Amino acid sequence: MGIPSGISQTTLKLRIRKGQIVTVEAIIFDKDGTLFDFQRSWGAVMAELLASSVPTDRLEAAAFALGFDFEQTRFLPGSVAVAGTSNEMAYVLAPYMQGGEQEALHVIDAMSNRTPMVPTVDLASCLDGLRQEYVLGLVTNDSEARSRCQLEAAGIADCFAFLAGCDSGYGSKPAPEPLLAFAKATSIAPERTLMVGDSQVDLMAAKAAGMRPIAVLTGVAGAEELAHNADVVLSDIGQLADWIVG
């Protein structure tokens, strides 16, 4: 039988994978911990922020509240920094800093704006290959403007047909609204969309939106934690294309 008009060879394989109709037309990615390695991008910078902004006698308590191992410069599972917004981080850190929440937010945003992001894979090659077959989107709990700047710096901004941050007007994950906004903007049904992320927040958002949750291990959470809510746990997004058609 020939391939129906408008359906690629890859999509046809998806339609018969394991005897089930699992057609995929779109993929939404999280940003931090998915496109960019979370620990390598943020660990040392967060240690610098704490050391420069929090009094020494409050440093240990501040790191604990944030979910951060200061000595190892590593975030711990469940850290608010993993999937929280800048406002949520500021709320946690403000009691340990000299100023209030607005000052904490200013410090966090300044840190975020100067952080060199470390890609998890060769992003340009990986995403360019995927966008030949699927419509790509990005939904992050970071701000839209900062996210766009980071994508442009990595040379991948043009890969995405849709970008939503926590301040784009759709809310933030784990609420499904930003994912459903992608579905509306692209006219692609949620059940034909994968949501790829490194945290429970991403997987919960995917399920709430009726999308397929895919986990990667380039964030803070481990495979055992993520497996409960994910269709599959991959080492990184570089394995995604083969998994889809495998």
Map 132-195 to HEC letters.
Answer: CCCEEEEECCCCHHHHHHHHHHCCCHHHCCEEECCCCCCCCCCCCHHHHHHHHHHCCCHHHEEE
- Contact at 8 Å (CB) between 24 and 134? yes
- Looking at 60, 90, 114, which one is the last position of a domain? 114
Does residue 1 fall inside a structural domain?
Answer: no
Q: Is there a single domain that holds both residue 136 and residue 62? A: no
β-strands 68-69, 74-75 pairing = antiparallel
Report DSSP state, residue 115. Answer: P
Domain with 75, as residue range(s), is: 39-114
For the chain, what is the radius of gyration of the CA atoms? 19
Q: What is the CATH number of the domain that holds 172?
A: 3.40.50.1000
Q: What is the pLDDT along the chain (246 residues), one digit of tens a residue?
A: 333 334 444 443 443 444 455 699 999 999 999 999 999 999 999 999 999 999 999 999 999 999 999 999 999 998 999 888 889 999 999 999 988 899 999 998 888 888 889 999 999 999 999 999 999 999 999 999 999 999 999 999 999 999 999 999 999 999 999 999 999 999 999 999 999 999 999 999 999 999 999 999 999 999 999 999 999 999 999 999 999 987
Dist CA 211 CA 174 (whole Å): 13
Q: What is the pTM of this model?
A: 0.88
Q: Is there a single domain that holds both residue 105 and residue 190? A: no
Q: Is there a single domain that holds both residue 93 and residue 149? A: no
